[in-house]
Each structure stands twice: as structure tokens, then as C-alpha cells.
Amino acid sequence: MKEDLQSQLISELVIESLEGLDAFDHEILDLERGGVSPDSWNNAFRIIHTIKGSSGCIGFNEVELVAHAGESLLTVLRDGRMTPDAAVFSNLLRYSDALREMMRSIEEKGNEGDADHTQLVRDIQALHSGITGTGKPGNQKQSFGFFDDEAETPVGFAGEAGPESPGSSRNTVDKASEKESSAVRVSESIAPKLSSDSAIRVDVSQIDRLMNLVGELVLARNQIVQSADQQADPAHFAAVQRINLITSELQESVMKTRMHPIGNVWAKFPRIIRDLCHELGKEVSLAMEGSETELDRTIIEAIKDPMTHIIRNAIDHGIETPEERRTAGKLAQGRLNLRAFHEGGQVNIEISDDGNGIDAERVLQKAIQRGLVTAEQGSRMSHREMLALIFLPGLSTAEKVTNVSGRGVGMDVVRTNIEKIGGNVDLYSEPGKGATIRIKIPLTLAIIPALVVTCCGDRYAIPAASLVELVRIEGDQIAKAIEHIHDAQVYRLRGNLLPIVHLAKELELKPSGHADDALFLIVLQAEGRQFGLAVDGINDTEEIVVKPLGKEMKGLTVYAGATIMGDGKVALILDVMGLARRASLLDEGDRQTRSRKALEEAARSAHSQAQGEMRSLLVAHVGRNRIAIPLSCIARLEEISADKIESAGKIEVIQYRGRIMTVLRLSAVLGIESARRTADPGDDPELLALVVCALETENVGVIVDSIEDIVEASIQIEIREGQRGILGSAIVQQRVTDLLDIKELARMAA
Amino acid sequence: MQFCTFFLGKDLFGVPVLEVQEVVRQQQITQVPLAHHVVRGLINLRGNIVSTIDMRRLLKMAPLEDESQSITVITRVAGGLVSLLVDQIGDVIEAPEDRFEPVPGTLGLEFRHIIAKVCKLPENLLMILNPERLVEFDRVKLPAGDSLARAD
């Protein structure tokens, strides 16, 4: 029982102290920036005083000792007997770090840790030794004397401050302003300073449970409201109406309890920025706007690290040194703006700096250098697309890796983390003028807007965050609109090929055999790629409450959870990223490196160099497929008689210009049924269309069904995997055409 | 110790009564494609989403033709709640400690995996389930040729 009390006291001490120290940092930073308010010194002093008192009371003497050293310095500063310089501020922050560390150690290990703080204490004492000099021992004694009672009743402090600063003529003024300031501070402060009479601490799980119950109440309410419409009794109807209203209000209120102002996260940034600036020799002023914007606590947690990363990046790589800035005609002090605001049911967070900006060309060069895109792809990119490359894994434009950022873990992690919570990141930049990163995130993760679709008789919810658009294809047009690239289905959405994923097929469901009167395509976006999800029907958009699945189903990445629909039935929530992975639309791990290598190779190889730009292509037919071969690697087009083909080992060859040339029948290599009938033995030997392709060392003959045309076209290849010998597909002359990978073919022939 | 009992065919099974939250009539089950065969789907238990495990499938028993009388036993396991789909509910039985016996080795492996012990009742035998094992169906690795390895 006694131990319970002790551990409860300790945990309260730790929570209060950590909160207090955050506020302390805030005050010190304010003062360092030139704030002259004595309130700030008072607040800082009071925080430390409370920590000293409480920890001394519980018996953490080391904390008490260290806290005391700072307290003495703060007394001097508060009374205006000393003008603080940079060293004072640095040491005060060092000092708060030391206290914070001890508190963490108390929380985790139950003791104050074994760090040695004598040097710190000495440094702090040295700062004000000239001023307090003889007065110090007395001070110490007095303060020790009174905090023992003080710890129990911190409220009484203002009145007892007298002995702490004997002889100060400003004493009475201090007392008054202190009281006043504490009232003002609480309301305007960003940091979560909970004053004990207006706020209580509640376990988060308690609130989650409340949230759950309210969700249930909402469902029950919906059912009652529905049945009430059939009731004639007006009194009953009125009661139902009231329940209806109260439930809505209750839901909203409970939602609010989970909300935190975003300022809670931001409160840590001034300190981070200050330390960074000192380390890098830069000057940055921080402006925050909209810190009262509220977000669900889970989201607050999730954006903390990405935001810190962005800010570090902005200061390290974005904002220049004061000299550079002056040369560029800017103010020596850089500016960093944080802005948060609601827009369309989402929260926008903007982080902008007025630094050097991001050079889109350099980003592109880097991406090409790393083989993330090809030069041809790059040449077609818009400014914005180039900037967006910065979100690719493995790309950092920082010329030098610093201690602070640029170590490879970069913006891709930021994007992944933001997308994980259903948000997205955008980047705008003007070279020389600065950069802005805009994050859009949902208000809450617990309740999300979703599109409800039907597939094989069951309903599935798709988070609206990944939704791009809906396409409905009428029954008689399906056959025409859906094109096939080998066995993959694609749909041409405004000129771009959209891969189609059938939900029923991915979920291994048996199609319910419905009449094919219309096909619904839901265009979804996952990690920057789009695909069309084919479903049986689209129901409605709904706000759904996300609930996790049990551990029996944790291996199923295609689901993000489940929800309860208005009729009380359970519906699964699809995880768009997981679904795309399952359908092999997104690259993963080694697949990613492989395809990247393939891309690099494609870029280098003269033969398969078929990306972008105006390009001459030979278009041929094999079966139902259109095949394009880059003209640059074609030596000649021939027509040969089928009986000229001879065998060498297992492969077919012909004699061509005095040499033996390997012959590949494209239909056989690609597994496509040839449109040509097989010649009857009695017939005249048929004539075959032979494309002689020049490879580095030899020529290879490729037999196609027919040669259609030579075209000049600017094409965009959609890289595909899984089909050896085909690089990808593109639209050539408004038709889907497979692009042959000659090198791969040669390898297959060997 | 008291056990909540239920039937699968003629076999009688028991779960410690303290681990049982409630017994409910079969709810509307939402199937979960791609999930393990044993998982019948999800039900809505007053706002909680609970997975339903088909005990017949778990024990490789033939499916019941008429499931209209089936009932679900909501049981607590480490990760939360699961609902067990069974044929019929039995009484709550007081089983004295001295009547317990270890599971005979001749019992099928799928039974042995989830059954902790057997209790000799005057009329018949009661198989006591180990609730924690119920959700470990995907961890059972059986040598080839064993009864569970049969494709179903």
C-alpha cells in the first residue's frame, strides 16, 4: 500500500516535471529571442522550484541538488541583477536537459541515473558567482528550509517567495505579476500545461472504450430512428428525436476528448531548431500559425517524426548560412513557417522556409545518376514531377552528409509514414526563394470516410483517401474498352494505361455470375501509382469506424481492419497498398532492385533504348498482339521461305550472308498463338517475315506474323514484369503495343 | 472447477467457465476471403468485431448439414475474444480434479493440439479445451501424411 503511494508520487513527479521542463525550454527560448518579460523568468523559476521541491520531498537528492544550482541562477536573472548572455541560455538548456534525463531515468529505472552533474552545477554557479557571491550560502539554506513544506502546497509559493530574494525591492511587484501571469499563460500557452483544477488525466484506453460505446450507440440510434418513422405516437417520436440529437452531440464530444492541438507537437520544435542553428551556425526564426488546430492523438503521434525530419532538412539543407543569405540579398536570419489549418475535412500542415529552395534539375540529375529514372523519362518531366522525385527511396540531394540529415533515410520515409495514416505530402519550391512542404492528413483515424462496394455478395469499404475516381463501363462496351496485354487487362484512362485488378480474383472469390451489364472500376492510388479495381457494384460513401482484426488474421495485408455497417453487419476494410502488393502492382524488396536494374540497363543499352523522345519503331504483329521493335537495332527486313530454316542443336538457324544466324519464332518465345496457319507439308514453302536484329556480337532473326509499319512516335513505356522478352507496353498509334526487349530475347535464344 | 460444455456431433467439449464471456445464437457472419479455412468470418458482438472459428473445421470433422441450430460460444483468449461455432450447447458441469486424465496418444493430432485433458464423467467423457491453442491453428506444423496434412 505504501509502495503504491510512493510509486504513484514518483510517476506524478515525472509527468509533471517533464511537462514543466518543456514549458521551461519554451520560456528560455522566448527570452533568448529577446523577450524581456519578467513573467518568463518567473515562470521558469517556478517550474524549477516545483521540481526541486517535489523531488527533494520524495528523496531524489541529486535532482534536488542540480535543480537548486539553476534555481539560484534564475533568482538572479529574475531579479534583473544580471543580463543574460548566450552562455547563460545555453547552460540553462543544458541544465533542463540534465533534469529531463534524470526524470526519464527515474521513470524507467527508478533511480536518477549515474550521470555526473558536478561540472554542470559548477558551470552554472560560475555564471552568477560574481553577483551572488557571499549571499549564496544563505540563499541555499533558506531555500532548503522552506521547500520542505513548499512541496506539499505549491500554490502558496508566490507568497513565500520573499525569503528567496531578500532585499529585493521588486518583490511585491513580482508577486502580483506572477499571479497574473500564471493565469494568462495557461490560456495562451501551446504547451500542455494542465492546471490541476481544470483538467484531469484520463487513461487513453478509457477514452477508446468510450469511443467504442458511442459508436455502438450511434448504430442503435440509427435503428431506432428508422423504426420510429413507422410509429404514429408523437410522444414516442419526440423522444426518439431527442435521443437522436443527444447521441450526435455525445459522439462529437467524445471525439473531441481524443483531439489534441497540433501545438503539442510543435512545442518541441523551437528547441530543436535552436540547437540545430547553433550546431550549423545558422540563424532561423520560427513562426507558428494555427497551433490550436486539433487532431486525433494517434495522428499527432504519427506526424511527429516526419515533421521533425522535414524541419531538420529545411534548416540543414534549405536555409543558408547568414553570409550566404546576405550575399543573396536576404535577411541574415532565415525564416521557417509552420502553418496548420482545416480544409475540406482534412488538416493541412505547411512547413515553409525562405532558404535556398530545391533545384529540380539537380534532383533529376541525382535520380538519373542513381538509376531511379532514365534520362528520357526525365526529359519529359514537369517541374513538379521532378521535385516529387525527392520522395523516391535512395535519393538525397545533399552534397555532403551531415550529422543532422542526409544520411539516406530521407523523404521517402516521410512520405511512407504520412501515407500510412491516409495522408499525402506535396512539395513546392522555387530555387533561391525557399521551399514549402504541404502535408494533408485526415482529422482522425478512428472514423474515416470510405466508399462501400459490393463484390460477390459481400460489402467492402475502401478508404476514400486512396480514391481517385470512379469509372463505369457499360456492358456493350466492356469488350472494347478493356484491352489485353498478354494476360493482363488494362483500360485506357485518358490516354494512360490503367492496370485492372479484379477484386474477386485477388480475394479468390467465386464470381457470383451476375449479368455483365456494367463494369465498375475504382481508380485507386497507392505509392504514387494508379490502378483500377473492378468490383460488382458501388454502394455509397459512408463514415466508418475502423476496428482492428484479431490476431487470427494478422497475416492478411489486404485488409486494414473491419467496420460495422448501419445494419449491424460487419464489412471488411480493404488496404489499398496491401491489395496493390498482392496484385504485384507495387515493387517490393528485391523486385524493386531488379526492376530498377532493368531500367538502368534499358537506359544504357542502345538496343532496348526505347524510352520516350521521338523514336522510330517497327510495328509487327504476332497473333493478336502488336509488337514494336526499335528501328535502331534492326539491320534488315527479309522475307524467307520456311524451308530455309535449319536446325543447329536445339535451336533453329538459317544461313544468312554466309553466316549462321539464330532464328526466333516470336510466337513461340512469347507463348502467343500465331495467327498463321501451320503450313501443310504439301504446300509451297510459305514466306516468313524475318526481322534481322543487330546485337553487339551477332545478328538474330526474329520471325513475326506480319510487319505492319514503321512509325515515328513519342511513347511512354509502362514497365511490366513477368513476361520475359517484353520490356513493357506503350500506346503507339492509339493502340496498345508491346515493346520487345531484344537483349533479353537474345539471351533466351542462347 | 466449472466448465461450460458444448457438443460437436456426439463429442462433448468443455471450456473453463471463467473464460467464457457469453453464449449467443449464431449471428450473421461476414466471410473473410483469404483467411485461414478455419475462420468462418466476423461477427458483430455489440460493437466488438469478433472472429468466428468453426470448431468442426478446426477438428477436421464433416460439416453439419443443417447449421440453423448452431450456436457460438464467445471465449476469451490472449488476444481478445473469439467465437466458437459449435453444434449445440451443453450444461455447465462441475468437474472434480481427481477425474482428470491426460489426453490419450491415440487421439487425432488436431484434437491433441487443442485439448488439455480429459475428464471422466459418469455417463461420458468431457474433453477440456485449451483456449489459447484455439487461435494457433496456423502454427500447427504436421509431418506429411498426418491426418491434418490432408487436403480438405
Q: What is the pLDDT of residues A707-739, one digit of tens each?
A: 887 777 777 777 766 677 777 788 777 788 888
ipTM of predicted assembly, 2 dp: 0.82
User: What's residue A401's pLDDT?
Assistant: 43
In a domain, B73, yes or no: yes
Q: In what order do the strands lie in the sheet with A537-545?
A: A537-545, A447-455, A458-463, A570-574, A559-564
User: What's residue B36's pLDDT?
Assistant: 85
Phi, psi of A733 (to 5 degrees): 50, 50
In a 13 Å sphere around the CA of A586, the CA atoms on its Cβ side amount to 16
Minimal CA separation from A379 to chain B, in Å? 43
- Give the pLDDT mean for B104-116: 84
Lowest mean pLDDT among A251-255, A499-503, A550-554, B52-56: A550-554
Predicted TM-score (pTM) of this structure: 0.49
A245 and A138 within one domain: no
Determine which of B49, B52, B76 to mutate to test the interface with A (most A C-beta atoms within 10 Å): B49
Q: Which residues contact A433 (CB under 8 A, 6 or more apart)?
A: A354, A357
A657 and A624 within one domain: yes
Lowest mean pLDDT among A55-59, A176-180, A259-263, B145-149: B145-149
Range of the domain at B85: 2-140
pLDDT digits (tens, 9 = 90+) for A279-325: 888 888 889 998 888 888 778 888 888 888 888 888 888 888 888 88
Helix (H, G, I), strand (E, B) or coil at B104: coil
In a domain, A139, yes or no: yes
Q: Which residues contact A509 (CB under 8 A, 6 or more apart)?
A: A455, A456, A458, A503, B33
> Which among A393, A412, A442 is the end of a domain?
A442
CA A306 to chain CA mean position, Å: 7
Helices A269-280 and A2-32 pack at an angle, to 10 degrees, of 50
Q: In what order do the strands lie in the sheet with B11-16?
A: B88-94, B2-8, B11-16, B125-129, B115-120, B100-101
A165 and A220 within one domain: no
Residue with cell 488476444: B79
A87 and A130 within one domain: yes
Categorize the per-residue pLDDT at A678 as very low, low, confident or very high, splitting at 50, 70 and 90: low
Say which DSSP state A584 is in: T
User: What's residue B134's pLDDT?
Assistant: 80
In a domain, A294, yes or no: yes
CATH of the domain at B96: 2.40.50.180
Residue B44 and residue A458: Cβ atoms within 8 Å?
A: no
Average pLDDT, chain A: 75
Closest of A78, A97, A119, A91 to residue A18, by C-alpha? A97
Residue with cell 488525466: A201
Name residue A73's amino acid: L
pLDDT digits (tens, 9 = 90+) for A624-634: 888 888 877 78
In a domain, A732, yes or no: yes
Categorize the per-residue pLDDT at B130 as very low, low, confident or very high, splitting at 50, 70 and 90: confident
Minimal CA separation from B149 to chain A, in Å? 20
Q: Which residues contact A114 (CB under 8 A, 6 or more apart)?
A: none
* Inter-chain Cβ pairs, chain A and chain B, closer than 8 A: 73
Residue with cell 471422466: B120
- For A564, the closest of B31, B33, B44 (CB atoms) is B44
pLDDT digits (tens, 9 = 90+) for B53-75: 999 998 888 888 888 888 999 99
CA-derived radius of gyration, chain B = 15
In a domain, A592, yes or no: no
Q: For residues A659 and A663, what is the distance between their CA atoms, to the nearest angstrom?
A: 12
User: What's residue A74's pLDDT?
Assistant: 82
User: What grid cell was written down for A319?
Assistant: 536555409
- For A551, the closest of B33, B49, B79 (CB atoms) is B79
Q: Which residues pair with A285 in a beta bridge?
A: A335
Lowest mean pLDDT among A106-115, A286-295, A515-524, A589-598: A589-598
In a domain, B147, yes or no: no
H or E stretch covering A24: helix A2-32
- For A552, the closest of B33, B47, B82 (CB atoms) is B82
- Give the pLDDT mean for A503-511: 83
In a domain, B132, yes or no: yes
Range of the domain at A711: 604-749
Q: Is there a contact between A52 and A156 (Cβ–Cβ < 8 Å)?
A: no
Which is more confidently placed, A232 or A374? A374
In a 13 Å sphere around the CA of A570, the CA atoms on its Cβ side amount to 26
Which is more confidently placed, A191 or A18? A18
A649 and A664 within one domain: yes
Q: For residues B110 and B146, what is the distance between their CA atoms, to the nearest angstrom?
A: 10
CA-derived radius of gyration, chain A = 35
Say which DSSP state A465 is in: G
Q: Is there a contact between B121 and B100 (Cβ–Cβ < 8 Å)?
A: no
What is the number of domains present in chain A?
Answer: 5
Burial of B130 (0-12, 13-18, 19+ CB in 10 A): middle
pLDDT digits (tens, 9 = 90+) for A587-600: 444 344 444 444 44
Q: For residues A297 and A444, what is the distance between their CA atoms, to the nearest angstrom?
A: 8
Q: Flag whether pLDDT at B16 surpasses 70.
A: yes
A612 and A565 within one domain: no
Q: Flag whether pLDDT at A619 surpasses 60.
A: yes
User: What's residue A452's pLDDT?
Assistant: 92
Q: Flag whether pLDDT at A39 surpasses 60.
A: yes
Helix (H, G, I), strand (E, B) or coil at A279: helix
User: What's residue A320's pLDDT?
Assistant: 86
In a 13 Å sphere around the CA of A401, the CA atoms on its Cβ side amount to 6
CA–CA distances in Å: residue A473 to residues A311, A470, A534: 46, 10, 10
Phi, psi of A330 (to 5 degrees): -110, 170
Helix (H, G, I), strand (E, B) or coil at A543: strand
User: What's residue B13's pLDDT?
Assistant: 93
In a domain, A557, yes or no: yes
> Which among A155, A188, A221 is the end of a domain?
A188
Lowest mean pLDDT among A42-46, A589-593, A741-745: A589-593
User: What's residue A586's pLDDT?
Assistant: 55
pLDDT digits (tens, 9 = 90+) for A217-226: 877 787 787 7
Name every chain B residue with its beta carbon within 8 A of the beta carbon of A549. 32, 42, 49, 51
In a 13 Å sphere around the CA of A354, the CA atoms on its Cβ side amount to 19
Residue with cell 470512379: A470
Residue A216 and residue B47: Cβ atoms within 8 Å?
A: yes
CATH of the domain at A716: 2.40.50.180
CA–CA distances in Å: residue A480 to residues A534, A610, A708: 16, 28, 22
Determine which of A205, A557, A570 to mutate to test the interface with B (most B C-beta atoms within 10 Å): A570
A211 and A184 within one domain: no
Q: For residues A527 and A411, what is the distance between their CA atoms, to the nearest angstrom?
A: 13
In a domain, A197, yes or no: no
Q: Flag whether pLDDT at A601 surpasses 60.
A: no
